[in-house]
């Protein structure tokens, strides 16, 4: 089925839940109106559905390939990326001074989601460039910004981040790549980096590698890591490309999914040393790289949402067309499987989780805009704290959700879902990596516990719980049966999340293993409750629109019905998650190593 961007749904979330009006009122955002948002989303949807989405299935069959140190990307990808850059899509949220459109993150977010619905393998290249741009904007020198940013923003060049090494996966303290100062402001970089997304390709004239490495006198561990720009081609003083740098792709990985995205093994310094320049100060590289990682983590959450939306659309189309078996109520003959209750359950599970994750991500994007542009420093600080709490939830919960949704997509197709030609299996395979790269779900959960909950004694988390309770009270006071049913589950969810936060804060010093034994479940609970909160808000708004006789009544009734499903079938899981978090560590830690 051709991908159709859910523009009406996206605009509803942007305007009603993420509060576009507040974002538009921020300095520099005056042009980011609802009309602007609609125009941008419509154009991006046309581009993705017409140019990117048709490449997805074929590129899975004929992925990128390596030959003699060069990478040829899947058929159509190079031309599509050229069109992507020329249309300005890489620069939607980046500064005007470097050729971007300077629009808020809230408007860039649906564009990123749509691109991922079109093809995650394709979208990974812009994702990494976005991270490189953010890192250089924050920590790059004026000279580095002048050399690299305009080219990256335009899509003429692309960016990568190089963290992982054969002996150092998520443990960056074990990084061995070294950078030797040359006395002229440059360094020679030596080492091997693995799992480098778009580390080599044929999209652009240059690839700007951001590389973690150690200088000779650096302290051990993560405190001794610096960040370097190591371009594929050196750049002359006038901005033209110079000599080929000593940074080479020696192989590509063969993967379960995202096969069209070239995942490279890069070798630096085999022929005398790759020339690099320091970003910021020595030994602060991990700090700078986290700027890229946080941007990428939010982006990977959007990958999960975009992929879930694509899988849902495909499943709905199949369920409408596939005729099999009589209706359980006794139809005259076989019916389309969308009439069977369990197929309806799966489709609602796919739809509700996708909508909840989308709403939470877009709300997070709006908070980020306020955190960066509001005139009041206290308001900026408060919104940044909430956004930072949400990032590991958006990344971890949305990507875990995408596996649930794409699995249901295969199941709706039945035996045909297991056959590669239908395309449902590709979505399922592509989803798996999302819970692994840019930090596994456990790493996101550790961040949520240690940096985002314990650090402030649970203040931000408890503040969110109070907002959930305010929405719950609004729905409980309604005379509508659906809203009251949602309120009942939301009340339990708020209590369960509050109890989990209290448990984490109270026990992290006295019984840290018990806390981290339930950390992933805590992340899931936060996603379920905060996603349920957004669905509840959407239902209340939709009910108000219906009562006022405004807009598309069918759309608003569907919002309420989907929110009701989420409350009854997903939010209702909060109590069991709470039990596992608070009381479940004994089982997790019951066996010693030899017993496994």
Helix (H) / strand (E) containing 212: strand 206-213
Cα three-residue angle 210-56-46, rounded to 5 degrees: 95
Where b means 16+ CB within 10 Å and e means fewer, 169-193 reads eeebeebebbbbeeeeebbbbbbbb
Cα three-residue angle 77-79-84, rounded to 5 degrees: 90
Pair 251, 187: CB distance under 8 Å: no
Q: Sign (positive/negative) of CA torsion 390, 520, 294, 350?
A: negative
State the CB neighbour count (10 A cutoff) for residue 512.
Answer: 13
Q: Which of 435, 464, 470 is nearest to 452 (CA)?
A: 464
State the CB neighbour count (10 A cutoff) for residue 265.
Answer: 19
Q: How many residues does the chain have?
A: 596
Longest dimension (CA), the chain: 85
Ordered alpha helix ranges (H), 120-277? 120-139, 142-154
How far is Cα 437 from Cα 415, in angstroms, rounded to an integer? 30
Helix-then-strand count for the chain, H and E? 20, 14
Q: Provide long-range contacts, Cβ within 8 A and 24+ apart, for 15-19.
A: 16/537, 16/538, 16/541, 17/359, 17/362, 17/363, 17/534, 17/537, 17/538, 17/541, 18/106, 18/359, 18/362, 18/363, 18/365, 18/366, 19/366
Give me the catalytic one of 309, 438, 550, 593.
438
Give 110-162 as a DSSP string: HHHHHHHHH-HHHHHHHHHHHHHHHHHHHH--HHHHHHHHHHHHHTSEEEEEE
How far is Cα 279 from Cα 268, in angstroms, rounded to an integer? 17
How far is Cα 236 from Cα 98, in angstroms, rounded to an integer? 19
Active site residue 438: yes
Distance (Å) of CA 286 to CA 59, 171, 191, 211, 269: 34, 12, 17, 10, 22
Q: Which of 130, 158, 176, 163 is nearest to 71 (CA)?
A: 158
How far is Cα 232 from Cα 158, in angstroms, rounded to an integer? 10
Per DSSP bridges, beta strands 206-213 and 157-162 are parallel
Q: For 108, left (φ over 0), alpha (ψ -120 to 50), or beta?
A: alpha
How far is Cα 157 from Cα 241, in angstroms, rounded to an integer? 11
Q: Which of 520, 115, 569 is nearest to 356 (CA)?
A: 569
Indicate which residues carry an active-site annotation. 438
């Amino acid at each position: 089925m051709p991908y159709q961007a859910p523009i009406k749904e996206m605009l509803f979330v942007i305007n009603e839940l993420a509060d576009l009006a507040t974002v538009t009122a921020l300095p520099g955002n005056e042009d980011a109106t609802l009309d602007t948002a609609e125009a941008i989303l419509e154009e991006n949807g046309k581009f993705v559905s017409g140019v990117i989405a048709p490449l997805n299935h074929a590129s899975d069959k004929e992925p990128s390939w390596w030959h003699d140190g060069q990478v040829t990307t899947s058929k159509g990808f190079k031309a599509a990326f050229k069109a992507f850059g020329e249309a300005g899509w890489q620069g939607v949220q980046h500064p005007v001074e470097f050729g971007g459109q300077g629009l808020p993150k809230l408007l860039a977010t649906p564009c990123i989601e749509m691109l991922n619905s079109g093809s995650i393998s394709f979208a990974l290249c812009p994702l990494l460039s976005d991270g490189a741009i953010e890192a250089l904007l924050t920590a790059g020198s004026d000279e580095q910004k002048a050399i690299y940013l305009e080219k990256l923003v335009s899509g003429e060049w692309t960016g990568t981040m190089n963290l992982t090494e054969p002996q150092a996966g998520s443990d960056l303290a074990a990084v061995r790549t070294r950078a030797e100062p040359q006395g002229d402001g440059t360094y020679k970089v030596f080492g091997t980096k693995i799992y480098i997304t778009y580390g080599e390709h044929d999209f652009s004239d240059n690839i700007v590698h951001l590389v973690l490495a150690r200088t000779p006198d650096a302290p051990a561990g993560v405190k001794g890591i610096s960040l370097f720009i190591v371009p594929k081609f050196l750049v002359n003083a006038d901005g033209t490309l110079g000599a080929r740098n000593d940074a080479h792709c020696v192989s590509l990985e063969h993967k379960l999914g995202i096969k069209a995205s070239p995942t490279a093994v890069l070798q630096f310094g085999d022929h005398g040393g790759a020339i690099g320049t320091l970003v910021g100060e020595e030994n602060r590289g991990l700090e700078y790289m986290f700027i890229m990682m946080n941007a990428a983590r939010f982006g990977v959450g959007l990958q999960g949402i975009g992929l879930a939306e694509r899988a849902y659309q495909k499943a709905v189309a199949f369920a409408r067309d596939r005729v099999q078996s009589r209706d359980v109520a006794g139809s005259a003959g076989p019916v389309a499987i969308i009439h069977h209750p369990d197929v309806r359950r799966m489709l609602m599970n796919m739809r509700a989780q996708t909508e909840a994750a989308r709403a939470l991500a877009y709300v997070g994007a709006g908070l980020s805009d306020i955190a960066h542009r509001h005139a009041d420093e206290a308001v900026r600080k408060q919104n940044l704290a909430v956004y930072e709490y949400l990032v590991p939830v958006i990344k971890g919960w949305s990507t875990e959700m995408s596996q649930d949704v794409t699995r249901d997509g295969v199941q709706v197709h039945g035996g045909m879902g297991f056959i590669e030609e239908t395309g449902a299996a590709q979505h399922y395979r592509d989803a798996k990596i999302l819970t692994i790269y840019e930090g596994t779900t456990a790493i996101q959960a550790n961040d949520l516990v240690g940096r985002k909950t314990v650090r402030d004694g649970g203040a931000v988390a408890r503040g969110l719980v109070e907002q959930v309770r305010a929405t719950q009270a609004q729905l409980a006071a309604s005379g509508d049966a659906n809203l009251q049913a949602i309120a009942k589950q939301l009340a339990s969810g708020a209590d369960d999340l509050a109890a989990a936060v209290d448990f984490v804060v109270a026990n992290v010093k006295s019984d840290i293993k018990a806390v981290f034994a339930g950390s992933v479940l805590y992340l899931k609970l936060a996603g379920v409750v905060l996603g349920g909160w957004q669905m509840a808000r959407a239902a209340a708004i939709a009910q108000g629109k219906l009562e006022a006789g405004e807009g598309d009544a069918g759309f608003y009734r569907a919002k309420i019905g989907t929110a009701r499903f989420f409350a009854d079938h997903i939010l209702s899981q909060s109590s069991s998650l709470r039990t596992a978090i608070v009381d479940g560590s004994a089982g997790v830690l019951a066996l010693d190593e030899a017993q496994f």
